[in-house]
């Protein structure tokens, strides 16, 4: 049983009430809630806390390039977690390589995040690409930003894009002008639209005669109810890949040989993680990994997919984090409750290694502890 009916806002109100802010019977101000929300996000995205939440294990899969045994991992990396709406994983739980299968890319827009500069886009006068965004400045020119694509008529698609307004406003069109919308404020825009033609293009342009300046990012068109990438399950041949630590990787006699990889090292670096294989992959190989990801809560009114034990701990943790701003601190009784809540959270999210052998079978000792995963 989770707390899917509880939002971040409710948790933050509960946290502020633990330190009696703003007072009995009164509601916190928007400023207090914003500060508490910032502290909450810092807590849940820290590795030590974030990995304790469920649901947390996700499946990621990526095409391997022949002879490439080192990959960046994270948003915009070689292993691009944006396709799974995830940030950088905390760790890789298990992995295997599949041959004889394919990954389907359902995203109709190429270079949708402008990670590869202006590739696949046509930039008219006034447009440029910088730091993963398309920038429009009408004082430089008054052209359009366009890209052609192909979709299926009478099929429903989800159209998305992010806009940052500097001055003025702009316009987005698709499907030969059959779909169009204006934007005059910064934010994420999302629309459901039924295609009328087979081929079309997206276009961003100025709306006024002069003075418009804005930025475009994360342009996406995907068929409704589909993920950006999909994998056909239970098809092809699977080969296990063992996850190793840095010490084991350093002790490998050779690295980057030409055989199929059977070991990998995941390093959670900044800004992107790294995956290193012991051998160079061949053609047509896909790495499939079960990974622990950090929870993502981007809105104060978003429902929290946390177990009640996690919710209780977070309420105390947020209160403890923000209490100095109000010249207060948790009482000794509240600190004890927070510690107990954290222990309950850790117990509830402990993952037993199902591949671990019974200690008695290993014949190392006649004693074993079932609570430690020895069974």
- Residue-wise over 287-308: b if at least 16 C-beta within 10 A, else e? bbbebbbbbebeebeeebbbbe
Cβ atoms 117, 266 nearer than 8 A: no
Give the pLDDT confidence of 95-146 residue by residue, as tens digits. Answer: 999 998 899 999 999 999 898 899 999 999 999 999 889 999 999 999 999 9
Q: For the chain, give the mean pLDDT.
A: 87
332-348 vs 308-322: helix crossing angle, rounded to 10: 140
Provide φ and ψ at 173, rounded to 5°: -135, 155
Task: Assess whether pLDDT exceeds 50 at residue 2.
Answer: no
> How many whole angstroms from its chain centre is CA 187?
18
Task: Assess whether pLDDT exceeds 90 at residue 308.
Answer: no
> How many whole angstroms from its chain centre is CA 189?
19
Task: Assess whether pLDDT exceeds 90 at residue 328.
Answer: yes
Rounded CA separation 130/272 (Å): 19
Residues ≥6 apart with Cβ < 8 Å to 94: 243, 289, 290
Predicted local confidence at residue 350, as pLDDT? 59
How would residue 167 be classed by pLDDT, with cut points 50, 70 and 90?
Answer: very high
Our separate counts of H helices and E strands in the chain read 7, 20
Predicted local confidence at residue 1, as pLDDT? 41
Task: Assess whether pLDDT exceeds 70 at residue 348.
Answer: no
Rounded CA separation 173/337 (Å): 55
Rounded CA separation 285/279 (Å): 13
Task: Assess whether pLDDT exceeds 80 at residue 92.
Answer: yes
Task: Assess whether pLDDT exceeds 80 at residue 258.
Answer: no
pTM score of the predicted model: 0.66
Q: Three-state SS for 30?
A: helix
Q: Token match 């081929």: residue?
A: 199
Cβ atoms 260, 67 nearer than 8 A: no
Predicted local confidence at residue 234, as pLDDT? 67
Rounded CA separation 96/117 (Å): 33
What does 341-360 look like in DSSP terms, one character per residue? Answer: HHHHHHHHT----TTPPPHH
Predicted local confidence at residue 47, as pLDDT? 66
> How many whole angstroms from its chain centre is CA 224?
20
Rounded CA separation 38/31 (Å): 11
Give the pLDDT confidence of 35-89 residue by residue, as tens digits. Answer: 999 999 888 877 677 666 655 678 999 999 998 999 999 988 999 998 888 888 8
Rounded CA separation 169/208 (Å): 7
């Amino acid at each position: 049983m989770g707390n899917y009916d509880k939002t971040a806002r409710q948790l933050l109100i509960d946290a502020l009430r633990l330190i009696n802010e703003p007072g009995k019977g009164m509601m916190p101000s928007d400023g207090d809630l914003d500060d508490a929300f910032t502290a909450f996000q810092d807590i849940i995205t820290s590795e030590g806390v974030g990995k304790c939440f469920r649901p947390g294990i996700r499946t990621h899969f990526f095409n391997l390039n022949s002879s490439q045994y080192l990959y960046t991992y994270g948003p915009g990396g070689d292993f691009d977690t944006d396709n799974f709406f995830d940030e950088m994983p905390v760790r890789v739980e298990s992995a295997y390589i599949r041959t004889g299968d394919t990954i389907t890319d359902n995203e109709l827009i190429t270079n949708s995040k402008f990670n590869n500069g202006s590739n696949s886009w046509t930039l008219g006068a006034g447009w440029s690409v910088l730091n993963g965004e398309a920038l429009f400045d009408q004082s430089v020119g008054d052209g359009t930003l366009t890209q052609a694509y192909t979709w299926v008529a009478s099929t429903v698609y989800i159209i998305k894009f992010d806009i940052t307004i500097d001055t003025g406003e702009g316009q987005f069109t698709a499907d030969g002008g059959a779909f169009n919308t204006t934007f005059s404020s910064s934010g994420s825009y999302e629309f459901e639209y039924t295609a009328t033609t087979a081929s079309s293009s997206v276009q961003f342009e100025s709306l006024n005669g002069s003075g418009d300046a804005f930025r475009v990012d994360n342009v996406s068109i995907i068929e409704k109810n589909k993920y950006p990438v999909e994998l056909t399950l239970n098809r092809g041949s699977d080969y296990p890949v063992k996850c190793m630590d840095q010490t084991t990787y350093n002790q490998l006699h050779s690295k980057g040989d030409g055989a199929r990889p059977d070991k990998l090292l995941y390093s959670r670096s900044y800004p992107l993680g790294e995956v290193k294989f012991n051998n160079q992959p061949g053609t047509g190989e896909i790495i499939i990994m079960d990974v622990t990801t950090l929870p993502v809560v981007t809105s104060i009114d978003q429902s929290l997919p946390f177990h009640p034990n996690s919710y209780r701990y977070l309420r105390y943790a947020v209160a403890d984090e923000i209490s100095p701003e109000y010249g207060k601190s948790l009482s000794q009784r509240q600190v004890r409750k927070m510690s107990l809540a954290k222990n309950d959270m850790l117990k509830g999210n402990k993952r037993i290694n199902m591949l671990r052998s019974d200690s008695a079978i290993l014949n190392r000792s006649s004693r074993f502890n079932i609570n430690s995963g020895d069974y």
